Structure 1
Amino acid sequence: MANSSMNDAIDPLRPVDVVPAKMPSPPAIPLPLNACDAHSHVFGPYDDFPFATASSYPPPLAPAATYLAMLDTIGARRGVLVQPAPYGTDNTALMAALRSGVGRIRGVAVVNGDVPDEGLHRLELSGVCALRFNEMPSPQTGKPFAGSVGLDAALALASRMKALDWHAQVWARCSDVPAITEKLDRVGLSVVFEHMTCFDPSLGTGHRDFQNVLALIREGRIGVKLALCRVSKLPPHYQDLRPFHDLMVEANARQLVWSSDWPYVRMGDAAPDVGALVNTFDEWVTDASLRHTILVDNPARFYRFDDWTARHIFRKGNPCH
């Protein structure tokens, strides 16, 4: 025990005291064929995939096999994995999970602006189709989260991302969404914003920041992930978000994808049940055609599932075999 404690102290990148990932219950109504959870993360196993930087939260144990079991339980045939900050620009765990998904999973990686072309090519072959950029400061320090990469890297990478038909995924404050969109527009990059654009529900739907987001959705200039748990002040039913969610769907359902944010880092006992989140979505979006658009059609288009499968999964020597 003493040796273990000493090792923990000198090697914070290989976590020992981890939090088990919360597994879901099946949703009340089965998801449609090829439904996609468009935002989750994998963590571990840490002997194989230590962190690149010390984590600012108790790390979950959520390896690829556990993640795939989560998708199976909720009935999602497809998923999108997003590189979490503690892994920094070491996308090894993400790439391994994509390979284990055999074309079922697409990835959103993190790289620096000077990444070599060979590194981007390896990511693309593994199933990566977007890069993540973080403009959300840590609430503890007011500085960028350790391991994150900011928007300047997106501007530096724009021409190479366009050549690969990749988009930018951005975690940012709602008030910053218009300016970020303009910057990415100028370099020809499409953008998807995480966590419903992180608006403050206490300000109401009429606040200019949320109205600006609605205008950008309506114009088809941004995509948005409908993930409730990071924005709502009223778990587990999230009724404070219902008016915002309704207005986003009304503005332009073709620009929205549904996501769980599993396995819920920094949430502790407030972590939701993914099956219950699916139930909430079904209660809020009652039209079957709209549900199919958001759960199936949009993620297939945003993350090019069919296109990538046709080009890669049957290619001889592809790492997804």
Structure 2
Amino acid sequence: MSSVPPTPPQASAPAAGQGGRAPDGACDAHIHIYDRRFPAQAQGLPPPRFLGVPEYLELRRRLNLQRTVVVTPGIYGTDNRVTLQAIRDLGAESARGVAVLHPDVAEEELDALHAGGVRGVRFTLFNPATAVTRFDMIEPLAQRIQRLGWHVQLHLMAQQIVEHAALLERLPGTLVFDHMLRLPKGSGPGHAALDIVAGLLARGKTWVKLSGAYLNSQREDYADTVVTARALIGLAPRRMVWGSDWPHPTEAGAGPDDAALYALLAQWAPDAQARRRILVDNPAELYGF
């Protein structure tokens, strides 16, 4: 991985017309840390930007983000040391983690992860060819983490949500859906996956991450994400959190401008009080800040 560029794209500071700087206590609920102290455990291409906590702290300063949720990247498999170290480096009082695990994980490891700030387990299954977990692992692990109060985080394509609706409806505890449900680009909120998630949201234990605009858009300015984001916020404004998806491991080249991505939230949620809820109040509840 030595050929991967070591420096990040520079995010501009958001202007007032872009929604301004984030309010005090704002949380970035979805980032990844790539730390060369920890070797990759899974096969697959390295991310285009191999960046760690020092680079992320610069972004946090620029946007006035004060809380962070670190999600273990796929290249580390089920080795969550990179996330635990990132939580320590960011500060345990202002950081939480989401791990990647298999159902046979030892109880002692679960306890150690919880003590280290982990509050959920993620299943990244949108591309089975690169996944380090499987659908049949979700339910048994969801059962095991109930004693810790953790949530199950799911990165699925919209059609997978439809295909596995019965599984999703019987899972215990809290669910978190990544990246605005990965609806087909240009489809808007008319997809059946939105109806399924709407039913789960109505139960009060499901959340959605407003993140990954580039995964949901056909436009360079991501303007076609507005209708979907507003539809989701309208369903459950108290169950939405925002994440940058830094350092954007799916995106080639220099990567998107983080301030521009943050500015989208002002279009998704034009009301300042609604944005504060998404950035501060909701993640404080979900992650226990």
Q: State the shift of 1:81 in Å.
A: 0.7
Residues 133 and 154 in structure 1, CA contact (< 8 A), matched pair in contact too: yes
Tell me how far apart the structure 2 counterparts of residues 301 and 122 of structure 1 sit (CA, whole Å).
Answer: 22
Deviations along 1:117-163, one digit per CA (max 9) or x if unpaired, are 111111111110000012212xxxxx3315x2123223222333110
2:29 corresponding residue in structure 1: 38
1:205 Cα deviation after fit:
2.7
SS in structure 1 of the partner of residue 167 of structure 2: helix
* Pairing of 1:83-232 with structure 2 (within 5 A): 83-102=72-91, 103-137=93-127, 143-146=128-131, 148-178=132-162, 180=164, 182-227=166-211, 228-232=213-217
- CA gap of 1:222–1:270, structure 2 versus 1, over 3 A, is farther
Match of 1:26 among 6, 13, 17: 13
* Conserved 8 A contact 1:18-1:60: yes
Q: Distance in 2 between matches of 1:282 and 1:230?
A: 19
CA contact (8 A) 2:201 2:239 kept: yes
SS at match of 2:10: coil
1:66 deviates by 1.6
TM-score by length of 2: 0.90
- Please say if residues 216 and 222 of structure 1, whose CA atoms lie closer than 8 Å, have aligned partners that are also in contact: yes
Select 1:287's aligned residue among 256, 271, 274: 271
Q: Distance in 1 between matches of 2:144 and 2:116?
A: 17
Match of 1:140 in 2: none
Q: How many residues align?
A: 282
CA shift for structure 1 position 59: 4.4
Task: Tell me the secondary structure at the aligned position of residue 132 of structure 1.
Answer: strand
Report the alpha carbon displacement of residue 23 of structure 1 after superposing the two structures with TM.
Answer: 3.5
Is the 2:103–2:141 contact (alpha carbons within 8 Å) kept by the matching residues of 1?
Answer: yes
Give the share of equivalent positions with the same residue, in percent.
33
What's the CA shift string for 1:250-302, capped at 9, x where partnerless? 11111111111110113123722111112121233221211111111111111
What residue in structure 2 maps to residue 69 of structure 1?
Answer: 58
Q: Does 1:49 align with 2:49?
A: no
Q: Distance in 2 between matches of 1:176 and 1:244?
A: 18
RMSD across aligned positions (CA): 1.9
User: 2:192, 2:175 → 1: CA distance?
Assistant: 20
**Partner residue in 2 for 1:316:** none
After alignment, is 167-176 or 201-210 more displaced? Answer: 201-210
Matched, 1:17 2:3: yes
SS of match in other structure, 1:76: coil
Residues 177-213 of structure 1, C-alpha deviation per residue, up to 9 Å, x if partnerless?
A: 2564642442413110111010013233323333433
Equivalent-residue separation in structure 1 for 2:165 and 2:188 (angstroms): 22
Q: Distance in 2 between matches of 1:23 and 1:71?
A: 12
Paired AA for residue 130 in structure 2: F
Tell whether the 8 Å contact from 1:134 to 1:144 is kept in structure 2 after alignment.
Answer: no
The corresponding residue for 1:245 is 229
Gaps of 5+ in 1: 1-14, 138-142, 306-321
Instruction: State the structure with more CA Rg.
Output: 1
1:218 CA displacement: 4.5
